[in-house]
Chains A and B, each alone.
Chain A
Amino acid sequence: MDKRDTSEMVQKGLVRYRQERDWFNFLNGLLAQDPSEESQLSKSITEITVDRYDQIIRCAEEGKPFIAGYFCAAPEIYAAMDLPWYMIMQTPFLAASAPYLLEDIDACERMGLGTDWCTACRLSLYYIEAGLSPPPTAVIGLLHPCDAATVLHQAVVRNKLWRDIPMFCTDPPYFEDERGIGYFANELRRMAAFLEEHTGHKLDIDRLREVCQESNKQYELWIEYSQLRRAVPCPHGWGIGGGQCFAITQVFETGNPRGTQWLRELVANAEKRVREKRGSIPKERIRYFWFDLLPFGWVFEFLPWLETEWGAVMVMEMFGYTPYSPIDTRNEDTMFKGLAKRNLYESPMVRQARGIADYFATDIARVVKDYKIDCVIWPGHMGHKDGAASIGIMKEVCQQLKVPYIHIGLDLFDKRYTTPDECKDKVSKFFSTMGLG
């Protein structure tokens, strides 16, 4: 491919990326106008986000190495190797409520990519097929927790535009045990070797130790923060919480003191609010556990309404709850095993969808008890086939816990699948029938 073609390819690949960066810039501006601590916290996130986007744009334009990777495929290693990275699934998630989202979903259908698999995955594939994703130096792919992830990455490998970009995927063992950890640790070692080979960046064990140690601090703070959310009333709602902690620790600021500082500020804010018994909304009437990702495609049309209409606060969701055991940084082996455990068993969404049903069932039980949950909402994203196949088990767990449970059935990205109005209707009937709020 000649220089002009490459340059055109890069520019086209950055179109959506730039649009997202601008969207976050815009949010940044809005948040700057609200002096409240919470808004300032969110503004820090948008600033960090814009920085990371700019970094990728620079790398793409200057021909410097950068990779496509995942939050659950050891971002600690990317950080230690000083490799800028982004997720090919970034656009569907972060382009929340962007006007082009629905157009893109339709374009995806027209391309013949099929419609009954996860919208996030097929959108990601569409962006690559349409040349709307910046081609990286190398790709770390994902084969779990669900079928769709494997489909996506097989298609990416085959795609004409990305055919010459090397890809490595870690292979996921199914059960949670020492053997699986050992195996996955080796997969991570192979991944690191792959990255060294294709990017020219090296993995230094001491640097990895630094990253893991800083990262451990971040997770400690996150655990503290999560515990503060147990308070009644809950200090924060859906607007601040697990999602941002996840973004800091696993996406944008892995092992970076800047991220640790943000988490300190988050904890401080939550502590203050708990001391002052200040809930996220004036009158908290329902504490719910949203057992999925946020409905990124139409979040503003539903979640605020739950607060204003029903006084319903999202005390915990899928991002927020995982154990985050610290990584033992003694030596290379303990570090890789620690990374394996964290990335395989303790990454949000991956944790809840992979493996046997017992894993998520115990999580639900813990959250309901610890967070004094009034009801469990399983949104039932159309891409979570394993989740849909688990509704019987979720129902039983909730019955045993004597907590009401509702399964909605929606598309986190496409509001036409089950409209916000239909969701509101369903949830209202549920709350009323269960005597909640």
Chain B
Amino acid sequence: MIVGGCDIGSATGKAVVMKNGTIVSYAIVPSTTRPETTARMAMDEAIKKAGLSSLQGLDCIIGTGYGRLKVPFAHQNVSEITCHARGAHWLCPTVRTVVDIGGQDCKVMSVSDKGKVLEFVMNDKCAAGTGRFFEAMARVLNCGLEGLSSLSLQGMKPATISSQCSVFAESEVITMINEGVELADIAAGLHHSVASRLNSMVGKVGLVEDVALTGGCAKNQGLVKALENRLRVTVVSLPVDPQIVGAVGAALIAKEKLSGGT
């Protein structure tokens, strides 16, 4: 049984191919202006890597993400909330809280021992705590995303970023740079502020270990450390690129659909 999961986000499109319950390939492509195009690009790449000649080789495909309604070859679409939770739990069955930090939104899910979502909280109204926020700040500090992350790990005295809005936070950061605050401290402060935001969201669903981070920003070691500090737990390491967890979840659901499970 070969299935596919396709997660179309605002910043990137992800596709995963699973064969008999094992991940055989995946792809991450930058999003284009048309979700259909992004979906095709991601899926084509994943199929090629899986050694398949075409989409026909897949028995079932589930679409997810903000562009899920526009995945032309998907048999069904499922919310990214359900998919991220399922994916993270499958990859690490002790996971009970999932924090997804995406390009344009972030969400927290509490998960049952069977990988079902119990409760969820989303922030998709503003950039606070998302990839956009880090991109904007990396621009201001002129250091690139990787640079921002490593700087944050060096900050000895994290600056206090009071503004909860990323637009205002930018002004604060610029003021700090002009006042000569250490860039590392600013970077640390930014990560600290995002971690605070996420901590609030985690509190709303209730923190239960183990905690997993998914989404592109989960690759940011600075954020991982800041969040671990705030939550006072060690985050579990997932065996795959955290950015594809949503697509993994979608593929799993495709598999379940075929085998008649729920």
Interface residues of A (CB under 8 A from B): 106-107, 109-112, 415-417, 419, 421-422
Contact = CB atoms under 8 A, between A and B. Distances in A.
A97 to B, nearest CB: 15
B163 A109 contact: no
B36 to A, nearest CB: 38
Given A110-B200, A416-B163, 20 more contacts: A106-B196, A106-B199, A106-B200, A107-B203, A109-B200, A109-B203, A109-B204, A110-B199, A110-B202, A110-B203, A110-B204, A111-B204, A415-B162, A416-B164, A417-B164, A419-B162, A419-B163, A419-B172, A421-B175, A422-B168
Interface in B196-215: 196, 199-200, 202-204
A362 to B, nearest CB: 36
Nearest to B206: A110
Contacts of B162: 415-416, 419
A180 to B, nearest CB: 41
Instruction: Report the interface size class on chain B.
Output: 10 to 19
Contacts of B175: 421
A416 B204 CA distance: 20
Contacts of A111: 203-204
Interface of B: 162-164, 168, 172, 175, 196, 199-200, 202-204
B30 to A, nearest CB: 34
Nearest to B161: A416
Nearest to B119: A112
B259 to A, nearest CB: 37
B169 to A, nearest CB: 11
A417 B162 CA distance: 8
Nearest to A422: B168
Which of B175, B196, B204 neighbours the largest number of chain A CB atoms within 10 Å of its CB?
Answer: B204
25 contacts: A106-B196, A106-B199, A106-B200, A107-B203, A109-B200, A109-B203, A109-B204, A110-B199, A110-B200, A110-B202, A110-B203, A110-B204, A111-B203, A111-B204, A112-B204, A415-B162, A416-B162, A416-B163, A416-B164, A417-B164, A419-B162, A419-B163, A419-B172, A421-B175, A422-B168
B129 to A, nearest CB: 13
A106 to B, nearest CB: 6
A109 B175 CA distance: 29
Which of B162, B199, B200, B204 neighbours the largest number of chain A CB atoms within 10 Å of its CB?
Answer: B162
A260 B200 CA distance: 47
A3 B200 CA distance: 35
A110 B172 CA distance: 25
Contacts of B172: 419
A415 B160 CA distance: 12
A146 to B, nearest CB: 23
Which 10 pairs from chain A and chain B are nearest by CB? A110-B203, A416-B162, A419-B162, A109-B200, A112-B204, A110-B200, A110-B204, A416-B164, A106-B200, A415-B162
A111 B200 CA distance: 9
B92 to A, nearest CB: 24
Contacts of B163: 416, 419
B41 to A, nearest CB: 39
Contacts of B196: 106
A288 to B, nearest CB: 24
A417 B79 CA distance: 32
Contacts of A110: 199-200, 202-204
Contacts of B204: 109-112
A417 B165 CA distance: 9
Contacts of B164: 416-417
Contacts of A109: 200, 203-204
A223 to B, nearest CB: 40
Contacts of A421: 175
A112 B163 CA distance: 21
Contacts of A107: 203
B227 to A, nearest CB: 15
Contacts of B202: 110
A150 B196 CA distance: 30
A111 B172 CA distance: 29
A416 B165 CA distance: 10
Nearest to A109: B200
Nearest to A113: B204
A109 B164 CA distance: 14
A125 to B, nearest CB: 15
A421 B160 CA distance: 13
Nearest to A420: B162
A107 B200 CA distance: 8
Nearest to B196: A106
B161 to A, nearest CB: 9
A13 B166 CA distance: 37
B140 to A, nearest CB: 17
Contacts of B200: 106, 109-110
